Amino acid sequence: MRSNFKNLLPVILPACIMYFAACNQPAKTTTTTTTMTDSTSQATLPPAKGFEKTLDGKQGHLYLLKNKNGVQAAIANYGAHLVGLLIPDKAGKLTDVAIGFDDIDSYKKALSNYYGATIGRYGNRIAKGHFTLEGKAYTLFINNKPNSLHGGKVGFNDVMWDAKQIDDHTITLTYLSKDMEEGYPGNLQCKVTYELTDDNAVKISYEATTDKTTVVNLTNHSYFNLNGAGSGTILNHTVQFKAANFTPVDSTLIPTGKIVPVAGTPFDFSTATTIGARIETKDEQLKNGKGYDHNYVLDKHDITTPVATVIGDLSGIKMEIFTEEPGLQFYSGNFMDGSNTIWGGKKDEHRTGFAMETQHFPDSPNQPQFPTTTLKPGQTYKTVTIYKFSVNK
């Protein structure tokens, strides 16, 4: 017992110091984040400085959320990004599980990857950038040939939101997307609330209202690496989904319109399987996606039971996803190519992060058989997704 305890000391001590340090911070830390360092290389969050830039006449900041366990999240009002998320691993070491950058310019350089961003007005692709609503045709910017992706040229990820930090746990961000911005009809008033709960969950609540009939599909595009951002491949993470079906895509990643069972395909994650186990299988869908880049049709569920569980093989960190959305885009970081330097100094190498974007299905405005993404005046778009973290037992 005694010698075990001795062995654990180097791990426990820094964890305790971190914990008490975190508890002693001032209640309001709206513009500075805590950089926590010690000899065991605990992960840290980027300093606020790189986010204090003015854009469209609005001041940028980096906001810090924290809970009673020393868990911390950094949120930028630029693009309503989740910039970093420090979670204790199986040894109690704080690990940054969400890939981020240390300044706005780096986010702008890596714009097409959408690291940690809030996505809107429409998450994922709309075929050829066209849709028709109440008999009127709309044209969007083609930013992912031949389609429009994640809101178009200047999506919600690339604008300055208004932020209000409510308390240590909660921040609310609002953005007014004007009528015909990026080709979408209606003034869309959006609100995204990030809450870091005391059970180590990041709860993201979305709300939107419009003054003209429009389409809306908001999501978060965090790239997770549960072994730690910059720690290498995510291919050995295990994934489990509660989804018997998915929406196959054509070679431009637009759903074919069919809903197809995953059973017997490399898309079957109904039992925990590593991401890498079948990713190189000769399969038309894996070829189209250059790996996993597909929308799962979640089995009937509500917000109380997880629809997805992912475990980091080295850290033991488990992430469970709860959502009110009908779909989940599983993206295995296939377009990551090492051309960006992430917070922590490492390159964003191929498949060193994965995204789990809870959403309505891609191209729904053109596919009436999918759950609708239409929002009318007088209605309120409201949806919640929770990413909950623990150590796998």
Where along the sequence are the contacts to ligand GLA (CB under 6 A)? 112-114, 124, 149, 253, 293, 329, 331, 335, 355, 357
| Beta-bridge partner residues of 347 | 341
| Nearest-approach distance from CB 350 to ligand GLA, in angstroms | 12
Q: How far is the CB of 327 from ligand GLA (least distance, A)?
A: 12
320 is catalytic: no
Of 127 and 149, which has the nearer Cβ to ligand GLA? 149
357 is catalytic: yes
Q: Which residue bears the tokens 């009436």?
A: 368
What is the smallest separation between the CB atom of 161 and ligand GLA, expressed in angstroms? 20
Residues 117, 157: contact at Cβ < 8 Å? yes
Q: Which residue has the closest beta carbon to ligand GLA?
A: 331
Per DSSP, the residues of 169-196 read SEEEEEEEE-TTGGG--S-EEEEEEEEE
Choice among 81, 237, 357, 360 that is catalytic: 357
User: C-alpha angle 28/30/33, rounded to 5°?
Assistant: 100
By beta-carbon proximity to ligand GLA, the closer residue of 63 and 101 is 101
Reported as type and span, the H/E element at residue 136 is: strand 136-139
- Cβ–Cβ contacts within 10 Å for residue 257, how many? 15
Per DSSP, what are the bridge partners of residue 224?
98, 354
Options 61, 150, 221, 360, the catalytic residue: 221
Beta carbons of 319 and 98 less than 8 angstroms apart: no
Task: Kindly state the smallest distance separating residue 334's Cβ from ligand GLA, in Å.
Answer: 7
**198 within 8 A of 65, measured Cβ to Cβ:** no
Write out the catalytic residue numbers. 221, 357
